[in-house]
Amino acid sequence: EAWKGNTLPVPTDKTVHQLFEETAQRHKDRPAVTYNGQSWTYGELNAKANRLARILIDCGISADERVG
């Protein structure tokens, strides 16, 4: 099925994770992801992403390293 969403201009002076953090702060209680009957809000998804980032940092992974 073809994508039917709207397109929006994306600022070129910010990274994807910066844009997501801003969205999560503005809309923390709105649904961000729904899959298989489970839904996470922007706030919940951001908290999970931050926990994962801390785990990776604690494992010695730096910002420029790729993780599979």
Q: Model's pTM, two decimal places? A: 0.74
Across the chain, what does the average pLDDT equal? 91
Query: Residue 1 — pLDDT band, cuts 50, 70, 90?
Result: low
Instruction: Over range 25-46, report the average pLDDT.
Output: 95
Q: Is 6 exposed, middle or buried (0-12, 13-18, 19+ CB in 10 A)?
A: exposed
pLDDT at 52: 94
Residue 30 has pLDDT above 80, yes or no: yes
pLDDT at 38: 94
Sorted by sequence, the CB contacts under 8 Å of residue 46 that are 6+ apart come out as 20, 21, 24, 28
Residue 42 has pLDDT above 90, yes or no: yes
Whole-Å CA distances, 17 to 1, 4, 20, 36, 37: 27, 24, 5, 25, 25
